Structure 1
Amino acid sequence: MAMTAFPDGAAAAGRRQARIMRVVNVPMRAALSLPFPTPLSANLMLISYTGVKSGKAYRQPVSYARDGETLLTPGGGNWTRNLGGHREVRLRLRGRGVPAHADLVSDQAEVERLLGVIAVGNPRAMRYIPIPRRADGRLEPDALAAAIAHGFRIVRWHLHDQHA
Structure 2
Amino acid sequence: MRPRWVAALGLIGFLAGCGGPPPPPPRPAALAPAVPGKPAAPPVAMPKEPEVKPLPAIAYEIKGRRDPFASLVAIEGPKGLSVASVKLVGIVHGREERLALVEAPDGIGYILRNGDLIGDGRVVEIGRNSLTFSVTQKPGLPSTRMVLRLRAE
TM-score range, shorter chain: under 0.3
State TM-score, norm by structure 2.
0.27
State TM-score, norm by structure 1.
0.26
Q: Which structure is richer in relative contact order (CA contacts within 8 A, separation 6 or more)? A: 1
Greater helix fraction, Structure 1 or Structure 2: 1
